[in-house]
Amino acid sequence: METKAICTEDLKDLIYHKSLKVGTYWILFSSCVLQVLNTYYVIKDYELITPVGVVCNTIHTSFLILGALCIRVAVKSKRASHPSWLIAALCIGFFWAVSTVNTAYFWNEPEPASRGVVIGAFSLVIGWYARPALLLAAFPTMLVSYLYLIIGYSDKTLLGLLLSVLKFPALIGASLYTLRLWLSFCTEKFVENEILTKKLEAMVRVDELTQIANRKGYNEALDRALEVARRFEKPLTLLLIDVDYFKQYNDHLGHHAGDRCIKGIAKIISKQARRAIDTAARIGGEEFALILPSCTLSDAETIADQMQDALAKQMIYHPASPISPNVTISIGIAEFLPQDDASSLYRKADRALYEAKHQGRNCVVIAQQHPVDGDLEPTAI
């Protein structure tokens, strides 16, 4: 449960980071548009090209550049909680505040400048609604500039000033609340769908009766084990297990008893898959497989003997077995060689299993590679 919670939180953090990343591009775009317009009108109006004008334009340009650099670092981190986000938010907030105040100062147009602050605030809300802390970092300077433009340049009545001042946080707060609700809803649905998808994918790889891997799960696990064994030159053994005279068991005791028998044997086999890299699988009606990466033949023999001993202790009555009063299993073992693929390794183990049946069942046979011609030479244990 703890692992699942951690994975869910990681997924949410990834969603929030992507939302921040896309939204930040929008913020940078709108900020660059404002900067281009400011620069254009400063150059167009020769009277504004003064030391003060150049210094003011340089100041808010510097804030924009510094904010863009911090954003680059934050985006590369792939974490929504990276501290560079906060520095970027401070810089962008200062940029919008200084730019709009400069507009009012040089052109004596406080009304368009105050609207510019509101536009900038909405731009930040749209881009950073996924992380309100960034808005809290950016908004104080923007709010100060807005109050300065409303109060310092206005001839409105006290009530008019109060309404003008209050509409800024009211509109921003309502917009942020709505967007946060939408993000929370979409994130929860996305996470639920991801969890459901993973559950369905897992179900496709699990045998319904025994709750161990099915044929598809076996194929995928064997492919992974072969890749690791080949790449790192590690040993790999495959055990094929077959229930002796299972058809006769079913015919005499019925399918319900047969299902209970299969489940019991699957439990015995799965107990031998002690490591995370081991895989127990049901690959046929009464046929099982045990994939043991980094396991030598001698260790595999020991495991095979342990499975037979564990089954013998269960004493599952078999009324139709000619070799034992109880249910028994035959086991074929094959070891991975560099020239093997999934099919050839399975064929070696299957031939060893066939030899075990030929020798009277209830035994273990190892498939060994002939040193000269490559023929399979089963060896009984």
State pLDDT tens for residues 326-356. Answer: 999 999 999 999 999 999 999 999 999 999 9
Asked whether the predicted pLDDT for residue 119 surpasses 60, the reply is: yes
Give Cα separations from 296 to 258, 274, 366, 379 (angstroms).
33, 15, 12, 16
The confidence score (pLDDT) of residue 306 equals 97
Domain-wise residue ranges, the chain: 2-198, 215-380
| Mean per-residue pLDDT of the chain | 86
Q: Specify the pairing of strand 329-335 against strand 364-369.
A: parallel
The partner residues of 369 in beta bridges, in order of sequence, read 376
Class of domain 215-380: alpha beta
The confidence score (pLDDT) of residue 53 equals 67
CA distance 23 to 125: 9
Q: How many CB atoms lie within 10 A of CB 71?
A: 23
pLDDT band of residue 376 (cuts 50, 70, 90) is very low
What's the whole-model pTM score?
Answer: 0.58
Give Cα separations from 198 to 18, 193, 194, 206 (angstroms).
21, 9, 6, 12
Arithmetic mean of pLDDT, 185-198: 83
pLDDT band of residue 55 (cuts 50, 70, 90) is confident
Give Cα separations from 229 to 21, 178, 255, 273, 293 (angstroms).
40, 54, 39, 17, 7
Closest Cα to residue 247, out of 269, 262, 232? Answer: 262
Which is it for the CA torsion 315, 321, 322, 323, positive or negative?
negative
Give Cα separations from 331 to 20, 125, 295, 349, 352 (angstroms).
56, 66, 16, 9, 8
CA distance 43 to 188: 50
The confidence score (pLDDT) of residue 324 equals 96
Choice between 12 and 99, residue whose per-residue pLDDT is larger: 99
